[in-house]
Structure 1
Amino acid sequence: MGAIPVISVVGTSDSGKTTLLEKLLPELKKRGYRVATIKHDVHGFDIDQPGKDTWRHAQAGSDIVVISSPTKVAMIEKLQKELSLDEIVAKIQGVDLILTEGFKRGDKPKIEVYRAGHRPELLCSPEELIAVASDTPFDIGVPCVDINDAVSLVDLIEDKYLTTRERDTTS
């Protein structure tokens, strides 16, 4: 099995990136694929709640805190510098596809979410894009799909990146 394909969903703030991912994921799952998502947050985040055990472990000096239950696992790792997308991807196994939200300056193929009125032009060049998901048509040499048409976008992803991958038949 080769490298896991990574596709970044990019766009300006409030363009609908999360909403598009919420539409792509069920369609991919319906087709039997296992999918990971990575969200880029330039502002930083905190998932540890003050006073909880994992927060207390980190406060006491743990560099990596893992919390595990019968249905999920989470790892919180203190970093000296931000990891590259490739370094994050290297930590993920057992999926057919990785979708990211953000990473617009990264070197992965992108679907740009574009809404008329948010910005006068696209953020990415056509060479970076596999598609544009938009509420207005574009003629730039890559498919332009209606912003709500998850089926067509997944068809495109499947044809270009997933046709030779094995599907999860346990879903």
Structure 2
Amino acid sequence: MKVFGVTGWKNNGKTTLVAKLVAEITSRGFTVSTVKRTHHSVDLDTPGTDTFKHRQSGANEVMLASDARYAILKELSEPPSLAHMISRLSPVDLVLVEGFKSESHDKIECHRKGGERPLICESNTSVVAVATDAPIDAPVPLLAIDDIVDIADFVLAKVGLEKGMEK
């Protein structure tokens, strides 16, 4: 599976860009999955539910399944690596990773006008372009943050899933 990332500081458009890239790239016939990094504590379970009771009683993994989707809740003793998380996904053409600034995979940095934080690409060589709505000086190519077709073309070329290779 090919892996490409979208990174940037908070409120600079990462999630919006990832969602638009998923829609654009899947419309071209490629399969896409995503991994989203959060620094918040996440619990998709609710005290009192059956799955909560399963976990509380000691289950290592609990699968909650419906006719439309399923979720696996796994208890962890330490944070998993990005490689481990990706290995748990079903095979697809492309995995888009949101966040994970310090990981080594290629990524686009999102930068919005008025951003006060320094550009990540100044100190991180895994950032290969900046998607922005501001006239900035950067050591990597600049892409218009609202030109999703151009950004998708850039991503697909970077990972080797170029035009003409659609399924």
TM above 0.5 = yes
The CA RMSD over aligned residues, in Å, is 2.0
CA distance in 2: counterparts of 1:164 and 1:151, whole angstroms: 12
Rounded to whole Å, the distance in 2 between the matches of 1:98 and 1:86 is 11
The answer (yes or no) to whether the contact 2:63–2:72 under 8 Å persists in 1 is yes
Displacement of 1:164: 9.4
- Using structure 2 for the length normalisation, give the TM-score: 0.89
Q: Deviation digits for residues 51-102 of structure 1, max 9, x if unmatched?
A: 2221121111111111222321211111010001111111112211111111
Equivalent residues of 1:8, 1:108 under 8 A apart = yes
**Residue 43 of structure 1 pairs with residue 48 of structure 2:** no
Tell me the distance in 1 between the aligned counterparts of 2:62 and 2:71.
8
Please state how far the C-alpha of 1:131 moved relative to its aligned partner. Answer: 1.7
Share of identical aligned residues, percent?
A: 38
Unaligned runs of 5+ in 2: none
| Secondary structure of 1:127 counterpart | coil
**1:9-158 → structure 2 map (5 Å cutoff):** 9-124=6-121, 125=123, 127-158=125-156
1:6-54 CA-partner distances (Å, limit 9, x unpaired): 1121111111111111211110111011111111111221111222221
Which residue is equivalent to 1:159?
A: 157
User: Using a 3 Å threshold, how does the CA distance of structure 1 residues 165 and 129 change in structure 2: closer, same or farther?
Assistant: farther
Q: Name structure 1 gaps, 5 residues minimum.
A: none
Deviation (angstroms), 1:127: 2.6
Instruction: Using structure 1 for the length normalisation, give the TM-score.
Output: 0.87
